[in-house]
Amino acid sequence: MAGVTNKLLAISWVMPPLVFPRSIQVARLLKALGERGWETTVVTVLPDAEPNELKDRRLADVHSGWYVLRQVDVREEATPRWLRLWRRLRPPGDLAVANWLLRGGSAARRELARNAPNVLVTFAQPWADHLLGLRLKRRSPALPWVAHFSDPWVDSPYLQFASLEQETRVRRQERDVISTADAVVFVTQQTADLVMAKYPDAWRSKVAIVGHAYDEDLLGLLSPIAAPPGKFRVVHTGNFYGKREPLALFDALAALVKRPEVREHLEVEFIGYTAAEAVAKARDLGLENAVVFRGRTPYVESLEAAVTADLLLLIDAPAEHSVFLPSKIVDYLMLKRPILGLTPASGASAEVLRSQGHPIVSPDNAHAIEIALFAAFERWRARAGATAIPEKAGVEQFDVHHVVREFEYVLGRVQAGERAVRSPRKQLVV
């Protein structure tokens, strides 16, 4: 389909310059589609209206020109006074979502009338993106709609329902989205199996697996942060939240620094949000000289720190089986550094890391983590410093130029009105 101009309308709450795993992956995919001839308009939130905003202008610049943004202000102060007065009597459950559905819907309908896109794609999270897509699809049933889930919705272990009423409503919303969309995209087969297990078998034909992607164009932007001489630098990028926490890792580090040969050389850097309680535990364990918390950092800057690391850390939540595949894995693979995965032995992350020869240990087994870290330290010391690792077969499946062809196949199938969207070509192995 390269060289053929198609028009895409995308719904994505976050886009660069906002830094979120979702904004990075969506922008990356749309850039690659643009390189293949697609013209994309994205209905998105005004960056200043995102309460958890962190901006990265360099991230935005690398994607500039590949899509057009229609930004929507979801803040309540932008709401007309008469509507604000009315909402005092009948307040919506979430003002930002209500404004998103109202104003985002208006912006999307204008694009439908102005540009007549070939396909609608909604990217969760948040799940309100799919609810907006559902409204648009019901108004324009002939418009092909691809709902990109990435992670599970109602089946997510991170989702906590405030009431039975809310759970019933959300389950109905997910069912309406999946039953109405022409295609449903997940990042891993494990996630697809989990979500679709509760639905009719016939709906599985609309499911496609399209993995996360890395974009080596980013490497040209990086000015690597020089590593301190004689230091074994261990780096973790990304925020901690919910059940994902580094507490067992801290116990492992506390044991590790008791070894004199390690204590002199070890430096562990956390780039991203870490809860104050976790920072306090590291201090209580006497890790001040070994552990550095840099806080939330622009995305490109985080890559500049990671690209010179001697070891990159992935930390997942403890679980019997994990369906999640954090997008940081593909960034790590792009950087070609050694990786240690603190992740359940059964799960999507473990499968990817094993396929590339990277070790994994349980995220809540401090003793096993200590052993794995010491083994990585010994390998570093034997090499007398940092060394990029050779690329293994199969990593190319995460290159955006491969991933975009899988996604473009889905777009072509829904445009053609095909009920089955799963590619007959080899699926991404995760």
Q: How far apart are CA 389 and CA 395, in angstroms?
A: 13
Instruction: Say if 78 falls within a structural domain.
Output: yes
Do 199 and 224 fall within a single domain? no
Q: How many CB atoms lie within 10 A of CB 63?
A: 22
pLDDT at 376: 95
Give the mean pLDDT of 320-339. 93
pLDDT at 423: 56
Instruction: Say if 422 falls within a structural domain.
Output: no
pLDDT at 265: 94
Residue 344's domain comprises 218-383
**CA Rg value for the chain:** 22
pLDDT tens for 395-411 read 889 999 999 999 999 99
pLDDT tens for 86-131 read 777 777 778 889 999 999 999 999 999 999 999 999 999 899 999 9
Instruction: Say if 353 falls within a structural domain.
Output: yes
Tokens encoding 118: 């070939």
Tokens encoding 256: 């590790």
- Is the per-residue pLDDT at 384 higher than 70? no
Which is more confidently placed, 419 or 302?
A: 302
pLDDT tens for 254-310 read 999 999 999 999 999 999 999 999 999 999 999 999 999 999 999 999 999 999 999
Write down the residue that tokens 């969309």 correspond to. 181
pLDDT tens for 4-60 read 469 999 999 999 999 999 999 999 999 999 999 999 999 999 999 987 779 999 999
Do 36 and 178 fall within a single domain? yes
Q: How far apart are CA 299 and CA 67, in angstroms?
A: 20
pLDDT at 427: 43
Tokens encoding 109: 């309908």
Q: How far apart are CA 163 and CA 243, in angstroms?
A: 21
Q: 358 has which bridge partners?
A: none
Instruction: Say if 423 falls within a structural domain.
Output: no
- Is the per-residue pLDDT at 424 higher than 50? no
Do 208 and 222 fall within a single domain? no
Do 238 and 174 fall within a single domain? no
Write down the residue that tokens 């209500």 correspond to. 98
Residues 6 or more apart whose Cβ sits within 8 Å of residue 228: 267
Do 232 and 205 fall within a single domain? no
State whether residue 59 is helix, strand or coil: helix
Instruction: Say if 421 falls within a structural domain.
Output: no
Residues 6 or more apart whose Cβ sits within 8 Å of residue 110: 70
> 331 and 212 in contact (C-beta within 8 Å)?
no
Tokens encoding 426: 């080899």
Give the mean pLDDT of 325-352. 95
Rounded to 5°, the CA angle 328-330-335 comes to: 95
Tokens encoding 53: 């905003």
Amino acid at 368: A
pLDDT at 3: 42
Do 173 and 248 fall within a single domain? no
Do 173 and 186 fall within a single domain? yes
Compute φ and ψ for 130, nearest 5 degrees.
-70, -35
Instruction: Say if 430 falls within a structural domain.
Output: no
Do 102 and 183 fall within a single domain? yes
Rounded to 5°, the CA angle 76-82-83 comes to: 45
Q: How far apart are CA 416 and CA 177, in angstroms?
A: 20
Give the mean pLDDT of 134-158. 94
Residue 353: Cβ-neighbour burial (10 angstroms; 0-12, 13-18, 19+): buried
State whether residue 177 is helix, strand or coil: helix
Do 171 and 235 fall within a single domain? no
- Is the per-residue pLDDT at 386 higher than 60? no
* Separation of CA 335 from chain center: 17
pLDDT at 229: 84
Give the mean pLDDT of 236-243. 89
pLDDT at 390: 64
pLDDT at 93: 74
pLDDT at 247: 95
Tokens encoding 302: 């985080």
Give the mean pLDDT of 77-93. 75
- Is the per-residue pLDDT at 327 higher than 50? yes
Give the mean pLDDT of 370-384. 91
Compute φ and ψ for 268, nearest 5 degrees.
-115, 125
pLDDT at 224: 85
pLDDT at 421: 74
Do 154 and 224 fall within a single domain? no
Query: In this structure, what CATH number is given to the domain that contains residue 372?
Result: 3.40.50.2000
Instruction: Say if 310 falls within a structural domain.
Output: yes
Instruction: Say if 33 falls within a structural domain.
Output: yes
Q: How many CB atoms lie within 10 A of CB 113?
A: 8
Do 39 and 81 fall within a single domain? yes
pLDDT at 418: 79
Do 164 and 267 fall within a single domain? no
Question: Nearest Cα to 351, choosing from 318, 372, 322?
Answer: 322
Q: What is the secondary structure of 330-347 as a DSSP string?
A: HHHHHHT--EEEES-SSB
Write down the residue that tokens 């006074």 correspond to. 81
Number of structural domains the chain divides into: 2
pLDDT at 76: 76
What is the total residue count of the chain?
A: 430
Query: What's the N-to-C CA distance of the chain in angstroms?
Result: 26
Rounded to 5°, the CA angle 413-418-419 comes to: 120
pLDDT tens for 175-223 read 999 999 999 999 999 999 999 999 999 999 999 999 999 999 999 989 8
Residue 46: Cβ-neighbour burial (10 angstroms; 0-12, 13-18, 19+): middle
pLDDT at 39: 96
Name the pairing type of β-strands 145-150 and 291-295.
unpaired
